[in-house]
Amino acid sequence: MSTLFGGVFDIAGKAERIAAMDAETVAPGFWDDQQAAQKKMQELSLLREVVDTWDALGGRAHDALELCGMAEDDPAMLTELEGEAAALEEELDRREFQLALSGPHDADSAILSIHAGAGGTEAQDWAQMLMRMYLRWAEKHNYKSFITDLTEGEEAGIKSVTLEIDGPNAYGLLKAEKGVHRLVRISPFDANSRRHTSFAKVEVMPVLDEDIEIEIDPKDIEIEVFLSSGAGGQNVQKNQTAVRIRHLSTGIIVTSQNERSQSQNREMALRVLRGKLYEIEQERLSAEKAKLKGKVDDANFGSQIRSYVLHPYQMVKDLRTDVETGNTTAVLDGDIDQFIEAWLKENLPAD
C-alpha cells in the first residue's frame, strides 16, 4: 500500500532496486568478492526494512480509510479510529525525517572533529565538554566510538579531538552538528567568577569506503611521523608511531596517534583526509547550486549554529531551527536528538 504516500518516498523505486539486487545475489560469482558482497547484502537489508515499514504503514492507513464509512453510527469504533489516526500521524512524522538521510553517504559511519576556539583554557574546557556530549550521544545510540587523535590543553580541556563514530546513519545524523557551538557560563577558571563566552567548531565527515572516488595524489601529500602522546600505551611512547599528513593543494593537516602502529595511524589519517576532501567538494557543489538558484548562502563552515547558556539562565537553543530546551544537563549528557531531527526535517530533499 506504499502508493498512498506518493512518489516523495520513492517506495516503488526502492522495491525495484530490491528486485534487481535479489537477482544479483543469486548470480554466479556474487560471493567471489566477500567484502563487496557483504556490503550489497547490508544495503539490501536496509532497503527491505524501509519498504516493509512503509508498506505496513500504508496498509494501516488503507484499513482505517475503509473502516471510516462503517463507523459513522458506532461511537466506540469512531474513538478507536481517532486513536489509530493519531498513531499513524505520529508514526508518519517520526519516519519523515528519514528522507533527509538519503544522501550517498548518510548511512555510513562518521568522523567528527572538535576544535577549541579563541579563549585559551575556557574554550579548551568547552571543547572537552562537547567531546563528552558526542560520546554520550553515541553511547545512547549503541554506536561504537573511538578517539583517533587528541591534543590536550595546557591547563585543562582539549585543543582538538577527532572521533570515529561507527554505526548506521551516524554521518546522516551528525551532519546536522557542523558549525560553531557557543557556550555562555560563569567560568570555573576565573577567580572573579565572571561570565565568559566560549566557542568551539565541530566538523563532520563520512567514513568513506575505499571504492569511493576521492583521489589523493601521493605527490600532493607530505607525511611526517613523530612520537605519539595518545592513549596507545607505553610501547607507543617509545616509537615514532604517530602520523601527520599535510595536503599541499588545500593546506589541510590531519594527524592520527592513537593506533598502535605507524601503518594503522597512516591509514586512519588518510581516512580523515579523504573525508575532509569529500566535504570540501560537497560544499563547493552546494555553493554552485545556490548561486545558480540566485540564493546567496553563507558558506562559511564556521557559522554559529547553537547557543548553550548556563548563566544567567539555563537554555540551549539551535539558531537554525529555533528549537530550544531549558534542560541543559540532559543536552550536555548527549540528549541532542531533538536538535538533529528538527534540522533534518527542515532540510528534506526536494521532491
Q: Which tens digits make up the pLDDT trace of 82-116?
A: 777 788 777 777 676 666 787 778 888 999 999 99
Co-location of 223 and 332 in the same domain: yes
Of 69, 84, 101, the domain-final residue: 101
Q: Return the SS3 of 195.
A: strand
Co-location of 80 and 15 in the same domain: yes
Structural domains in the chain (count): 2
Report residue 258: phi and psi, to 5°: -95, -5
Say if residue 312 is preceded by a cis peptide, omega within 30 of 0: yes
Co-location of 201 and 237 in the same domain: yes
Co-location of 76 and 218 in the same domain: no
CATH at residue 254: 3.30.70.1660
Of 101, 129, 149, the domain-final residue: 101
Co-location of 119 and 228 in the same domain: yes
pLDDT confidence of residue 298: 39
Co-location of 138 and 280 in the same domain: yes
User: From CA 288, how far away is CA 285, in angstroms rounded?
Assistant: 5
Co-location of 34 and 169 in the same domain: no
- Kindly indicate the confidence band of residue 119, based on its pLDDT and cuts at 50, 70 and 90: confident
Beta-carbon contacts of residue 209 (< 8 Å; ≥ 6 apart): 39, 108
Element (H, E) at 160: strand 158-166
Q: Name the one residue in this structure whose C-alpha cell is 599528513.
A: 245
Of 101, 129, 144, the domain-final residue: 101
Q: Grid coordinates representing 349? A: 530533499
**Residues 307/182, Cβ–Cβ less than 8 Å:** yes
CATH at residue 47: 1.20.58.410
Co-location of 190 and 220 in the same domain: yes
Does 343 have pLDDT greater than 60?
Answer: yes
pTM over 0.85: no
Task: Calculate helix-pair angle for 34-68, 75-96, nearest 10 degrees.
Answer: 150
Co-location of 178 and 249 in the same domain: yes
Q: Which tens digits make up the pLDDT trace of 42-84?
A: 888 878 887 887 787 777 777 777 777 666 666 677 777 777 7
Supply the range of the domain harboring residue 76.
2-101
